[in-house]
Structure 1
Amino acid sequence: MNYWVLKAESPDGAIIDAMPKDSPTNWKLSKGEPLGRQFPMGGKVSFSDHFMDRRKVYDFVRNTVGVLLVSSRVNQVLKELQVDNTEFLPVTLCDHQWNPVGKDYGVLNVLGSQDVIDMQKSDYDIDPITQKELTRLGNLVLTKDGIDPKAQVFRARDMMELILISDRVREAFVNAGLTGFVAHPAEGFDDMFA
């Protein structure tokens, strides 16, 4: 089976640069742990003031926070595929003036992780503070035996903000006409060029 690195990408889409008020801190959003009880009900996010000309809204919304911000359509496709390791944390998407432009959006929190990065063969840099998390990844080599064959959407254990999807999920996203995402082949992936 092939795997893909999932990224929200669009040349003209809106960009979000902050989570709702009273959200868990950014590092908690990439831990792969449930956050439903900590996430603010009725939270709002707005288009970044640094990108005033970026106003289009897609199913995957680019952001500088390192989360998957998606429409409910993405969540529905995953439910139809019976993916059971994600939680959808609803937010209202607002324009630059805080006028609502989409209520059917949320943070897609991918729960858990897989031991997917071959640390002997991949090229990477390790965080000098934690000495654990990877800060840069180049020429990714997968450890196929470290991936549960049932895993469809998952985080890379040594780089938790890196989200991978299976062929099945990629195909379902394409067939559903979801917009604003790119699936990069995982083998050989280099985050400097993604």
Structure 2
Amino acid sequence: MEYYLIDCLGDSNNLDLAFIDEDPDEIAEFGFRLTFGERMGDKFPEDAKIPLSEKQKGIQLLPFLGNSKRRLICNPDLTQLIKGMVDWEIEYLPFTLLNHRGRVHSADYQIINPIGAFDCLNMKATGGQLDDQDRLYCEDELVLDPKKLEQAPHLFRIKHAAHNYVASEAFLDACDDRGIRNLFADELEQQPAS
């Protein structure tokens, strides 16, 4: 099966689309948890609010909201698909999306936070180095090991590069079948470790 790296920016060519470039103010010091797949728990406020980007004035809502924070931000249809297909621990963090005037634009979206990361890289083919927090940097490109993918869920973060999300071909096909066509992803190379 093929696997794809999700582009959290969404469709950057369509300026009519809603775009987010902030987290809720209350989680400023804990945003790294959402970036690296750590549990937010009670650090995420029950009444979280996120404004639309001031730089990009689009307001159109689609199943996936593009954002610069590297978050999976999904509407109920996409969230239900994830819940139905993905056998992995995930936090679902609802928030209120505010328009450019500070009024409610939507209360339907959630930040999807897959917890932990899946060991799937061919480290030799990927190259790069690990820092003191076991995070990969200076990699040439992410290369997956097909043997490690045999038990892979349909949506996951990458061990050593947990700020990245990977979706299976089956998951993206299911999105397409539901008319969810704004979740963009690039195919990842697979190469068996020698």
Normalising by structure 2, we get a TM-score of 0.84
- Write the mapping of 1:70-81 to structure 2, written as runs, cut at 5 A: 70-81=74-85
**Which of 148, 151, 155 matches 1:146?**
148
Is structure 2 residue 166 aligned with structure 1 residue 171?
no
- Write the mapping of 1:3-14 to structure 2, written as runs, cut at 5 A: 3-8=3-8, 9-10=10-11, 11-12=13-14, 13-14=17-18
Q: Distance in 2 between matches of 1:120 and 1:131?
A: 19
CA contact (8 A) 1:26 1:65 kept: no
Worse overlay, 130-139 or 149-158: 130-139
Measured after TM superposition, the shift of residue 31 of structure 1 is 2.7
Q: How many residues align?
A: 185
Greater than 6 Å deviation, 4+ residue runs: none
Q: Distance in 2 between matches of 1:38 and 1:44?
A: 14
**Residues 1:85 and 1:131: Cα distance change in structure 2 (over 3 Å):** closer
Measured on the aligned residues, the alpha-carbon RMSD in Å equals: 2.2
Q: Deviations over 1:66-113 (max 9, x none)?
A: 211111211101222253422210011121112212111011001121
Q: Counting helix residues as a fraction of each chain, which structure ranks higher?
A: 2
Worse overlay, 115-124 or 39-48: 115-124
Is structure 2 residue 46 aligned with structure 1 residue 66?
no
SS of residue in 1 equivalent to 2:105 = strand
**Residues 1:135 and 1:59: Cα distance change in structure 2 (over 3 Å):** farther
**Which of 36, 39, 44 matches 2:44?**
39
CA contact (8 A) 1:21 1:40 kept: no
Normalising by structure 1, we get a TM-score of 0.84
Q: Distance in 2 between matches of 1:174 and 1:138?
A: 30
Worse overlay, 18-27 or 156-165: 18-27
The corresponding residue for 1:160 is: 162
CA contact (8 A) 2:5 2:166 kept: yes
Q: Counting strand residues as a fraction of each chain, which structure ranks higher?
A: 1
SS of residue in 1 equivalent to 2:107 = strand
CA contact (8 A) 1:43 1:91 kept: yes
Worse overlay, 133-142 or 170-179: 133-142
